[in-house]
Structure 1
Amino acid sequence: MVDKVGKVVVPGEVLSDLLGSDSSLKIVLGPGIRQDVDSVIVSKPGVLKFKEPNIYWIDSFQKRYVAQKGDTVIGIVTAKAGDVFRVDVGANELATLSYLAFESATKRNRPDVKAGDLVYCKFLVANKDMEPELVCIDGSGKSGGLGVIGRDGGMLIQVPINSIQKLLSPECVLFKTLGKSLKYEVAVGMNGRIWIQCRTVIETIAVANAISASQHMTNEDIQNMCKQMTDSLAGF
């Protein structure tokens, strides 16, 4: 285990013992860490985090999303340019989404996508030398839940990017606790955008408020908050 895990690191700092760890597994470098030949270097300030069995990343508070290959995000279609859609994902540049990057899409059978639509998609290409590229299909050509969302309602909210890791952690009880008393759909993007839809507008707003409020809560606080919220919705 790297001795700097859980400690604050700064850009340019070399994690000399990371590649030299005794693990037989290949190390996976997440956001905020890059490999330069035989060195692993920190690229943004924050706390070094580790997840079993072999994943390291920097947990930092950042306002602007930095695209990472494989990240699932929620984008907003801004325009169509030739055979691709231009998509705002909250990064410093727009990403492209081909009309063929949808399940069952062909030159004759084009997807129904319009400017202003929300798309739940994944980064296929994301590096400094190439234009970021998105897809709405998995490796087998299936949508797997990706695609246009929100046309029949719902709410899109923005939370701090570092809060997404907490919400998606298996240890976080928020979504499980909410699901015990409410029926809802949720799409969580690594770019800090979350789309929620419940049976009623009031329930949707309540779930959105619960997500926003949970950012600095313990699991016990989250459970208490969810109970109070469901009691309130039930008219107690």
Structure 2
Amino acid sequence: MATETFVLPGDTIDAGVLPSHPTQPLKLGPGLRHIPPNTITSTVAGQLCTDKRKNAVWVEYNGSRYIPTVGDLVIATVQKSGLDYFYVSLSDYTSNAALPQLSFEGATKKTRPQLSTGALVYARVTLANKHMDPELECVSSPTGKSEGLGPLNGGMLFSISLGMARRLMLAKPSEQGDLVLLDVIGEGGVPFEIAAGRNGKVWVDSKHIKTTLAIGHAIQDTDTKSLSTEAQKKLGKKIAKDVKDL
């Protein structure tokens, strides 16, 4: 169970509030910086959250600027291709990240993917610090499998707040608070796929462009207008009804 404390940028995190585990190392999430040997400071204002079960600590915030953090799942847009890397954009406020062309499941120099400018990729951040550009991967290093990472074909990309991105990425619907929109659309018999990135992006794909646009805009409206549970249910049912008429 996570606990929360409000922190400001530059605050030193009291060791007494940090979780401890007999075998797992402490995991630092977004909004925190480790200063050797033992100092941890906040880089943003928000709720300091700790999870004793996972031995993790992070700061929940809803700023407009994405700061890459190791382990984040992101949706990247290819800007150009070099000899060994794809150079991709994560947001308007960060420098391009490097994605090794062999960092895909089963990729070799002959079989590596050919990604053109504007192509979308679901990737994981593997390197993130203020002295170097971020680096990404589209394969799990331990298993060699993509595990859902890789090129996102078709569909459309929508911008959302960092807070909404985190809500969409929570594993259990019960952890997402009052976010019920997508459940209602799915229960209405509408087939669709989404991929959410911690960098404030969500990719949506469905059988019809009209449906894709409707779902993407509905997610944005739920985010920007803070739609209530009832308003989300009404909107989700309307989308499901409209799809049946296509």
Sort the TM-score into its range (normalised by shorter chain): 0.7 to 0.9
Matches for 1:135-214 after TM superposition, within 5 Å:
135-139=137-141, 140-150=143-153, 153-169=154-170, 170=172, 171=174, 172=176, 173-180=180-187, 181-214=189-222
Query: In the alignment, which residue of structure 1 is the partner of 2:7?
Result: 9
Q: Is the Cα–Cα contact under 8 Å of residues 181 and 235 in structure 2 kept in the other structure?
A: no
Deviates more, 1:135-144 or 1:223-232: 223-232
TM-score of the two chains, using structure 1 as the length reference? 0.86
SS at match of 2:185: helix
* Deviating more after overlay: 156-165 vs 24-33: 24-33
Structure 1 gaps, min length 5: none
Which moved further from structure 2: 208-217 or 171-180? 171-180
Distance in 2 between residues matched to 1:198 and 1:191, nearest whole Å: 22
Q: Deviations over 1:2-30 (max 9, x none)?
A: 98x2x5321122221223x5765654321
- For residues 108-132 of structure 1, give each alpha carbon's deviation from its aligned partner in whole angstroms, at most 9, with x where no partner exists: 3232211221111111222223331
Query: C-alpha deviations, 1:171-215, integer Å up to 9, x for none?
Result: 233333322221001111111111101111111111112211222
What does residue range 80-159 of structure 1 map to in structure 2 within 5 Å?
80-90=81-91, 91-139=93-141, 140-150=143-153, 153-159=154-160
Q: Distance in 1 between matches of 2:244 and 2:2?
A: 49
> How far has the Cα of 1:220 moved from its partner?
4.7
Q: Deviations over 1:58-110 (max 9, x none)?
A: 22222221111111111111111221111111152111111111122112323
- Identify the match of residue 225 of structure 1 among 235, 238, 244: 235
Paired with 2:181 and 2:137, the residues of 1 have a C-alpha distance of 29
Relative to structure 1, is the Cα distance of residues 48 and 141 closer, same or farther in structure 2, using a 3 angstrom cutoff? same
**Segments of 4+ in structure 1 off by > 6 A?**
none
C-alpha distance in structure 1 between counterparts of 2:65 and 2:87, whole Å: 18
Structure 1 residues 208, 77: CA separation in 2 closer, same or farther (over 3 Å shift)?
Answer: same
Cα-Cα RMSD: 2.4
Structure 2 unpaired stretches of 5+: none
Work out the number of aligned pairs and report it: 230
